[in-house]
Amino acid sequence: MAQLRQDYNLFTKLDAEVVVIAPDTMANAQSFFQHNQLPFPGLVDDELAVYEQFDVQSKLSSLGQRPGLFIIDKQGVTRFAFLGTQMWEIPPNQLVLDQLSLLQQD
């Protein structure tokens, strides 16, 4: 999360918005979002509806929630998807920024 916060301005320069979705209760998520002072929106998915839609899973073998990162264009089309197998597998920001740059060229 710190990396996303650190590079947030680079994402917005590419006309992208970062949105974090928490698989938790509203109270727990609000506490986390406030404690971490996120510059981008944080949403709650306590019923895991979005997680299920994008096949992001929680597995005991990965010690919790597996990460998912998606680039969704303004028409709602998923243009890039990354599903990790371990909770610490989050793609580097530069990979995501490169994907966003490629999309701007289309």
Tens-place pLDDT, residues 59-95: 544 455 567 889 999 899 999 998 877 767 788 999 9
**Number of structural domains in the chain:** 1
SS3 of residue 72 by DSSP: strand
Q: State pTM to two decimals.
A: 0.78
Is the Cα dihedral 85, 90, 94, 96 positive or negative?
A: positive
Query: Is residue 5 scored above 60 in pLDDT?
Result: yes
Half-sphere exposure of 11 (CA within 13 A, CB side): 17
pLDDT of residue 54 exceeding 60, the answer is yes
Handedness of CA 27, 31, 37, 42 (dihedral sign): negative
pLDDT on residue 61: 47
CATH at residue 13:
3.40.30.10
For the stretch 8-42, pLDDT in tens is: 999 999 999 999 888 889 999 889 888 988 899 99
